[in-house]
Amino acid sequence: MEFDLYTFFIFYLLMIYSNGKKVHSQQKRILLNDPDLINSRLEAMERELQAVRSDLTDTKTETQVLKHLVDSQTTELRRLKTSGTTYIRWGRKSCPALNGTSLLYSGFAASGFYDAKAASTNTLCLPHDPDTAPVGLPVYADYGRIYGSEYEFNFKNIALNDDVPCAVCYTTQAVSIMIPAKTSCPSSWTKQYAGFLTSGGYYSDQYGNEYLCVDGDPEYMTDGARRHNENGRLFYPVHSVCGSLPCPPYKDSQNLGCVVCTN
């Protein structure tokens, strides 16, 4: 059979193409069986696996940190619920309408008799609903006594010999302080109430008692006697006396204010 030049050329191209496919297939088989190539691919896969493990470790660490933070916040909330402080609001039956402040109980301001030698020097807020003491305690006439209290002055809604109320207040803040001669609190502190300073004795002929801060808008008791001169623990306003107390800044015979603050 005779081939012309064109047919021969086509046949030649087909031979080259066929041999090329065989060579490429052999090279591909050699590459797939190449240990260096396999190792490089294995190393790449190992690096990817390490990266995934690292990400998982970081996520676990972040989860632990977040859990620790949540636990800390929970502990702090529990502490805030169980911490706080109390104070007594003298001259009032209720506590200030402040966030975090609540009434524990209200009652009667009470202490020893104003001129008794054995009278106690501290004043208590006795509740309206007392419980009985343990049975069997002895009762003798010369044992300690406690009496109610009376204002010994007129001011706003109260009058001489009105009985003095009190309220025991709870605040979620940690500490409380009564600051005499001030009606405002330090920066960042909360003012619970302001008023005027009182003592429990008349200067010339009565025994003294502790200084208490009576609310600036005082109330009187509606329980028991009102304006009956029963005495007991007496409340008097307190004024400053110049001398060892410097004037200024103080002024002679000037009544002193007071404030109760919490923080």
Type of residue numbered 73: Q
Instruction: State percent of the chain over pLDDT 90.
Output: 49
- Amino acid 85 reads T
Give the lowest-confidence range in 108-112, 139-143, 238-242.
139-143
CA distance 247 to 240: 9
Between 11 and 127, the more confident residue is 127
Give the dihedral of Cα atoms 145, 146, 152, 156; nearest 10 deg: -170
The SS3 call for residue 28 is helix
| Cα-based distances in Å from 165 to 154, 214, 249 | 15, 10, 33
Q: What are phi and psi of 104, to 5 degrees?
A: -85, -50
pLDDT, one tens digit per residue, over 108-126 is 999 988 877 666 789 999 9
How far apart are the C-alpha atoms of 123 and 146, rounded to whole Å? 9
Tell me the pLDDT tens digit for each residue of 14-73: 666 565 555 455 555 545 556 666 677 777 777 877 877 777 777 767 777 677 777 767
Cα–Cα distance, 89 to 197 (Å, whole number):
12
Nearest-CA neighbor of 197 among 259, 120, 252, 145? 259
Model confidence, pTM: 0.68
- Greatest mean pLDDT among 16-20, 139-143, 157-161, 224-228: 157-161
Q: What percent of the chain has pLDDT over 70?
A: 75
Mean pLDDT of all residues in 3-24: 57
pLDDT, mean of residues 173-179: 95
Strand, coil or helix: 80:
helix
Give me the pLDDT at residue 30, please: 47
Peptide bond into 248 cis (omega under 30): yes
Q: Which residue has the higher pLDDT, 189 or 67?
A: 189
